[in-house]
Structure 1
């Protein structure tokens, strides 16, 4: 059984279940609820209830039972491998592909494809997420680095956590952004009105920092480059909505009709920089914009 300890940092009291949902976005709300009901969560040394209030300085201990995971199966799914050696692989993930299996979706994912085309993957993240160091949303395209052994996985994870790896995205957003560049620095957590969405919060949540730079303006649209300083769930999509310029085609964070017949947001992980975990060499990879993205830009240029 894995144990995770958390020392609460809050400006005001908050329900335990709400706090946990914000602090542990990798776990579903139902999973956390089950942990509470099965008495696997301790609050200041005692068994906790979902409605218990937590405050500054409280200690929360999560006892996470070993999961009986369903093994992902290899599938012959086309995969663009940008680079690979004995330690890492860099993949250009297409829009519409889920990164790893999850309940109700155990096939057709990047992991299924990786197991067929590569096979040797790190085991740190378990049977359902072998090799996965970081992820991209289903409808976000672009570069992902994959670890082929546990030492590489540890090194890459540390680089991301310590902000030594750089991830650069391109996004087309609604509206004309007035500033040529800027920094969005907020707290991001689960939307209390819709737990499937993330949102900017005044208190609680986790620090999220996005640096953006305008590349081109197309009247009612702007092409921006976004560099992640942190890697929160849906970070760029939430931040661009927060400043009034949601990503074009975003089905969750934009209410505007894109008019281009898109199947998801125009957000692409275009550049990835990292230090090779085996050689120590600094490496940079780039992936061109997908065809559907460039087609939209072409239409806007004509207008």
Structure 2
């Protein structure tokens, strides 16, 4: 885990793939962004996470150091004032340049944390996407989520009503022959400083 920016009120970190954002269930799932931040910054609040990245997703996260900062940042996420861009590699060639995906989906209680398309009971997830380029048999895509649902971008990439092409390394929504790390990276994050209101923006280059 790399700390990119230190402010008295918050931290911006670069989370590696394979690291939990918050503790999971069981003693073997306690190593996470939150536990590492609290070890490095003992004065940090008990629950500093303002948002989460999937365990397999890498990239930018903001973590609050005070309760007031947590409140301000949480409001920005709730009101969708935070700007986020992701870079993903898809295991196929897209023939379109850009678009918007809107799919209702929900958790499959019999196969957690898998999400399933459900027009009747699902909650809407909305993402914009833009093709960056074709690299061999793969497509490099920028995603901009307009909602923040679990596995939203992964489902939008893989589902036939989305792009119909899973992300490279996605063992959950892929074709069952995936290996290596999930190629999904939170590359851009912008929000207002919780005290001054100044725009704070950060970039992180993916490893793929």
Q: TM range, normalised to the smaller chain?
A: over 0.9
1:112 corresponds to: 35
What is aligned with 1:83? 5
Residues 169 and 270 in structure 1, CA contact (< 8 A), matched pair in contact too: yes
Measure the CA separation in 1 of the matches of 2:206 and 2:175.
Answer: 24
* Separation in 2, partners of 1:152, 1:183: 32
Tell me the distance in 2 between the aligned counterparts of 1:280 and 1:108.
32
Structure 2 residue ranges without an equivalent (≥5): none
CA contact (8 A) 2:91 2:167 kept: yes
Cα distance in 1, alignment partners of residues 158 and 6 from structure 2: 36
Say whether the 8 Å CA contact 2:24–2:30 is kept in structure 1. Answer: no
2-structure distance, mates of 1:119, 1:187: 41
Q: C-alpha displacement at 1:96, in angstroms?
A: 1.0
For structure 1, the 5+ residue unaligned runs are 1-78, 124-129, 294-303
Alignment RMSD: 1.5
Q: Does 1:95 align with 2:13?
A: no
What is the TM-score when the length of structure 2 is the normalising length? 0.92
1:280 and 1:179 map into 2 onto residues whose CA distance is 38
Q: 2:165 aligns with which of 212, 234, 245?
A: 245
Q: Which structure exhibits the higher relative contact order, with contacts defined as CA atoms closer than 8 Å and separated by 6 or more residues?
A: 2
For structure 1, which segment, 276-285 or 111-120, has the greater mean C-alpha deviation from structure 2 after superposition?
111-120
Measured in 2, the distance between the counterparts of 1:119 and 1:192 equals 37
How big is the shift at 1:276? 0.5
Do 1:122 and 1:153's aligned partners in 2 also have CA atoms closer than 8 Å? no
Greater Rg over alpha carbons, structure? 1
Give the structure 2 partner of residue 165 of structure 1.
82
Q: Do structure 1's residue 188 and structure 2's residue 108 form an aligned pair?
A: no
Say which SS state the counterpart of residue 194 (structure 1) adopts: coil
Q: Quick one: structure 1 residues 256 and 194, their matched pair in 2 at CA, closer, same or farther if it must change by over 3 Å?
A: closer
Q: Provide the C-alpha distance between the structure 2 equivalents of 1:269 and 1:221, rounded to a whole number of angstroms.
A: 19
Cα displacement string for residues 101-159 of structure 1 (whole angstroms, at most 9, x for unaligned residues)? 12114432111210111223334xxxxxx200111111110000001111111111111
Deviations 1:274-297 (A, max 9, x none): 00101110010011112xx2xxxx
CA distance in 1, matches of 2:148, 2:127: 9
Confirm or deny: 8 A CA contact 1:89 1:148 kept in the other structure: yes
Question: Secondary structure at 1:159's aligned position in 2?
Answer: helix
Asked if the contact 1:212/1:224 (under 8 Å) is kept, the reply is yes
Counterpart residue number, 1:22:
none
Q: Tell me which residue corresponds to 1:254.
A: 174
